[in-house]
Chains A and B, each alone.
Chain A
Amino acid sequence: MSDETNSGPVLTADGRSLKKSLQRALRREKLRALMLIAPLLLFVLVTFIAPIGDMLFRSVENRIVSETLPRTVIALQDWEYESGEAPGEAVFAALAEDLREAVKAKTHTRLGTRLNYELSGMSSLFRQVGRKLRRMDPDKPWREQFLKVNKKWGDPEVWGVIQTYSSPLTAGYFLNAVDLRLTPRGVEQRPENERVYIMLFKRTILLSGLITFMTFLLGYPIAYLLSNLRMKTANILMILVLLPFWTSLLVRTSAWKVLLQQQGVINDVLVWLGLIADDQRLELINNATGTVIAMTHILLPFMILPLYSVMKTIPPSYVRAAKSLGARPFTAFRRVYFPQSIPGIGAGAILVFILAIGYYITPALVGGRSGTFISNRIAYHISVSLNWGLGAALGALLLVLVLALYALYDKIVGIDNVKLG
């Protein structure tokens, strides 16, 4: 064998370079993997990611003003809010013409509703003028006629709002979602009695944290017990853990209603035991307590399952070794066992927390006034108040929070290591 062949590229049996051949094999393997994944990926992108993106776009979309009042928006360009006066006749004439078309297309009330999010009173302003527009005289000055309908039309504040929100994209909804608002003067805080969202976000995070801690407190002993029992017994007890997991959420929530209300089972038992007086029944539902109890129950399996799968891998010999070296049982547990179970706690805690902050049905049914979450507000804006932009902005903020937690989860546990049952 000569040196030449040794120094040259390694060849495969059919005479091609091994490196290239391996590369090709690798590429083929990658391609095959991608082909297997592609259908699902496409499916999820179309049926799930696209809808969410579409909804989130509503949080900045704001074409309604420029589409409903195109002439007014252009006419207002020359007007300055700082002048402290309402704009002149030309703008009023443009508005009258825009409104005449809007009333015909029945879009002026929606515009009023939209602008009312930013300045209280805009909705009634547009409705009134919409009703009276037909009886106005086009030959007389518009300005006076508008002011006769409602003198607020002379308020620069009204025009400032129209001008500020005339662009097709707006940060207004996001500002509203954090209790701020965009005014002609710039960003300011909302009036004190309208500031609720920061408080709701805080409450959602706080209560979810509490729920996560409660599931940890209750889940840890159970997972410990299950992982130290014989497999057969553990699996049978596991059914007790999974049964609530598989029972309809609505049913479990209504069961908690029956248990927790003032004339409910728990209060009855406490009264019967003489622990509380009949007229001192505890308020366990329609407040934050109700939400925490019911959601702890509902999310407990999500804590137990990851904890259990980690604890199963902790060899019992470590604790035994610690004990034989003279450690007291508690010390052995605290110094040897507990640290090894921390990955399970991390996994369970983040999973429970992620699920908790997005909860909607349970807080709605048992949370009353003080136990509802930001999701309930999103639902309210989507289906009752019809402020879809604000609903989307609140949703986007919540989603950012969840995705950050997910990234954390992926980093700590790795999404591949989630186990279910």
Chain B
Amino acid sequence: MKLTTTLMATSALIASSLAAGAEDMTLVSWGGAYQASQQKAYAEPYMAMHPDVNIIWDESSAEAVAKLRAMAEAGNTTWDVVDVVAADALRLCDEGLAMPIDPDTQLAPAPDGTPASEDFGDLLVSECFIPQIVYSTTFGYRTDMVGDKAPESVCAIFDTETWPGKRSLEKRPIGNMEWALICDGVADEDVYDVLATEEGQARAFAKLDTIKDNVIWWTAGADTPQLLADGEVVMGSTYNGRLFKLIVEDKQPVAMLWDAQMFDLDGWIIPANLSDERKARALDFVYFATDTQRLADQAKYISYGPARKSSAPLVGKHAELGIDMAPHMPTDPANAKHTFLFNYDFWADYRDDLDAKFQAWVSK
């Protein structure tokens, strides 16, 4: 019995000590180097200014839509600010799970007074979405495994004769379907028209079929870097910031293949139906965290481009390595020779369809 009493007392003590203290604000993000850059660029300075707010992180961005939907259904939303990719933001906004934002009144203007709506420009793809970074899904390859012929085109992933070995691709249709069509001879500007048809979809799957047995499908951002570091794959797709860490910080024998990189956006949303108090706090945080200086600060820690035009000139050197960050940005002219623009409207309409088809195809 003594044991039990002690256990009870201890856990009660720990539980109460956890509950006490500043008010918690839950930010949801992706973990890893990306979340670390947000912690340093946004969360730490914010908490220094507001000692009464304690920011805690939840690495659930990958399941954000599912969890927000369940929370809304139960009427108990525990998240305050959520980092999602633009496609998820569109979906959340469509379903009324995210709160609409007026950029000009609720977000900071640029230092020269340009309103936020202009500063973010086209990147405001949804009325609920507050863009943060421009990133790209692109390829890395093992320099010591490609022989003397370094791949220069994205179609190298479909060329298993010249570059034998496994490739890693993301386990979802977005990106893979487009690359398959491009490498099957479809012009960039026609890709989405072709993909909207049954025949076009079959064509993309047929192209993917040619490498199906050579692919390791990844679901988490850390998978491809780990597979490349282990030499398990000869090339693989992932977010460019992950590859930056692998190549520049960890000095692995890996190089970037920027061809046909797929630009995408990542940013914040605020869940709908927060209490007024929490909503005000979330808006205050977002106002701070997406101003010109903060977005530029984040680029010190990770190679993603800031979403504001006014932040671009402020991007400097890496905080720890002291190297220039500009040549590592996906938007740098040398890297952006052949880029692919992601069509949000297309994917909003066809995502359900293609997701189901892709998942069935992949399980076969």
Contact = CB atoms under 8 A, between A and B. Distances in A.
A and B associate in one complex: yes
Contact of A286 (B63, B216, B359): B216
A276 B281 CA distance: 62
Interface stretch (A103-111, A211-219, A294-302, A411-419): A103-111
A34 B360 CA distance: 50
B57 interface: no
A384 B63 contact: yes
A340 interface: no
B357 A106 contact: no
B65 to A, nearest CB: 7
Interface string A98-120: 00000001110110110011001
Interface stretch (B21-29, B112-120, B244-252, B347-355): B347-355
Given A106-B94, A112-B352, A368 B230 contact: no
Interface stretch (A6-14, A69-77, A193-201, A243-251): A193-201
- Interface size class on chain A is 35 or more
Contacts of A262: 166, 231-232
A369 B355 contact: no
Interface in A245-293: 261-264, 286
A368 B168 CA distance: 11
A386 B94 CA distance: 15
Contact of A105 (B96, B353, B356, B357): B96
Given A109-B95, A194-B360, A120 B217 contact: no
Interface stretch (A18-26, A38-46, A122-130, A324-332): A122-130
A369 B363 contact: yes
A385 interface: yes
A380 B62 CA distance: 12
Interface in B306-361: 348-353, 355-357, 359-361
B69 interface: yes
A261 B351 CA distance: 33
Contacts of B94: 106, 109, 127
Contacts of B361: 193
A386 B64 CA distance: 11
A117 B63 CA distance: 20
A109 to B, nearest CB: 4
A264 B215 CA distance: 18
Contacts of A127: 94, 348-349
A120 B353 contact: yes
Nearest to B166: A262
A380 B95 CA distance: 20
Contacts of A309: none
B69 A385 contact: no
Interface in A343-371: 368-369
Contacts of B166: 262
A261 B352 CA distance: 34
Interface residues of B, number: 31
A386 B216 contact: no
B357 A194 contact: yes
A386 B65 contact: yes
B211 interface: no
A17 interface: no
A123 B66 contact: no
B349 A368 contact: no
Given A384-B63, A386-B65, A372 B363 contact: yes
Given A123-B349, A123-B353, A369 B95 contact: no
Contacts of A109: 91, 94-95
A385 B216 contact: no
Contact of A106 (B63, B66, B95, B230): B95
Contacts of B95: 106-107, 109-110
A261 B360 contact: no
A289 to B, nearest CB: 14
Contacts of B364: 193, 196, 199
A193 B360 contact: yes
Nearest to A190: B360
A99 B239 CA distance: 39
Contacts of B360: 193-196
B230 A261 contact: yes
A286 B357 CA distance: 22
Contacts of A264: 230
18 contacts: A106-B95, A109-B91, A110-B95, A116-B356, A117-B356, A124-B352, A127-B348, A193-B357, A193-B360, A196-B359, A262-B232, A263-B231, A369-B362, A372-B363, A382-B66, A383-B63, A386-B66, A386-B69
Interface of A: 105-107, 109-110, 112-113, 116-117, 120-121, 123-124, 127-128, 193-196, 199-200, 261-264, 286, 368-369, 372, 377, 380, 382-386
Given A110-B95, A113-B352, A386-B66, 20 more contacts: A105-B96, A109-B95, A112-B352, A121-B353, A123-B349, A124-B353, A127-B348, A193-B357, A193-B360, A193-B364, A194-B357, A196-B360, A196-B364, A263-B230, A368-B216, A369-B215, A383-B63, A384-B63, A384-B66, A386-B65
Interface of B: 63, 65-67, 69, 91, 94-96, 166, 215-217, 230-232, 348-353, 355-357, 359-364
